[in-house]
Amino acid sequence: MARILRGDALTRRLDDDLRAHIAAIAAAGGPTPTLAVVLVGDDPASHIYVRRKHKAAQAVGIRSIEHRLEASASEEVLLALIDRLNADPAVHGILVQLPLPPQISGDRVLGAIAPHKDVDGFHPVNVGRLSTGSGGGLVPCTPLGCMLLLEEVIADFTGLKAVVIGKSNIVGKPAALLLLERECTVTVTHIHTRGLPEIARSADILVVAAGSPHLVRGDWVKPGAVVVDVGINRIVHPDGSKGITGDVAAHECDHAAVLTPVPGGVGPMTITCLLRNTVAAASAAQAP
């Protein structure tokens, strides 16, 4: 049987560490770490994610301020809001929930956030710091959560073969860079990769962020592999009930050494890493 590596259990421990860190900032006369979340439009999934982020922030003692703009809001209005948040010393982290409506350029908006407040790690400066391995940048939350989960079960990453399925800027590419930074041999693939099952089968660490339910079958997984399933796919079961499933057919993967569940695996880690980045941004703002 594969060991099921739960993110929700790990987040409880990490959230306790965050509370202690926030208390230490306060004891040193520092500010309450503050996160500004910007939500444009009425995408239902985005509303759910933003509510979860807000509640999780409050639960550890981070002040979370929500800014809502109508779906018809112009890019200028959003950029003006970001300018105000950049200039506000009481705001340490800024997150603009994606996706944005079509009249707004995501690249322009993400590039407008001050890099030291970019708790999503999507600004080109933070992307550059991650890709050069120079450190000091803010790292995207989902791949950071994947690495913290992997660190629970892997003591030494050196030389391990890692395969990432998915090439998004939010997960696939930064996950590959983080694994490379730990001296893994990394192959980045996607749903159009030829011979994908065979490549996946070569992985000691398989990170799947393809957004395709049960793309990875049992015979894509090497016996003893560590599998991180980043997929969050909404499905309707044959009986009509709704649920969430991952990108990995977990019921076929008993031969894996470790498997993260969906839900309860990477998802909760993403939020905890957002809180972690917010506290890191607040600490850095306070540093002399």
The residues assigned a catalytic role are: 53, 97, 120
Number of residues counted as binding ligand GUN (CB under 6 A): 8
The partner residues of 3 in beta bridges, in order of sequence, read 258
Q: Report the C-alpha dihedral over residues 169, 172, 173, 177, rounded to 10 degrees.
A: 140
Question: Can residue 277 be called a binding residue for ligand GUN (CB under 6 A)?
Answer: no
Q: Please tell me whether residue 278 adopts helix, strand or coil conformation.
A: helix
CA distances from 4 to 153, 210, 244 (A): 11, 20, 17
Question: Can residue 60 be called a binding residue for ligand GUN (CB under 6 A)?
Answer: no
CA neighbours closer than 13 Å in the CB half-sphere of residue 255: 10
Cβ 173 to ligand GUN shortest distance, Å: 13
Q: Is the dihedral of CA 103, 104, 105, 106 positive or negative?
A: negative
Question: Can residue 275 be called a binding residue for ligand GUN (CB under 6 A)?
Answer: no
Q: Please tell me whether residue 8 adopts helix, strand or coil conformation.
A: helix
Question: Can residue 57 be called a binding residue for ligand GUN (CB under 6 A)?
Answer: no
Among the listed residues 120, 204, 229, 247, the single contact to ligand GUN using CB under 6 A: 120
Continuous H helices in 113-190:
124-132, 141-153, 172-181
Cβ 49 to ligand GUN shortest distance, Å: 6
Going by C-alpha positions, the residue among 231, 226, 200, 118 that lies closest to residue 130 is 118
Binding mask 71-100 for ligand GUN (x = CB under 6 A): ------------------------xxxx--
Cβ 47 to ligand GUN shortest distance, Å: 12
Residues numbered 169 to 188 that lie near ligand GUN (CB under 6 A) are 170
Question: Can residue 281 be called a binding residue for ligand GUN (CB under 6 A)?
Answer: no
Q: Which residues bind ligand GUN (CB under 6 A)?
A: 95-98, 120, 141-142, 170
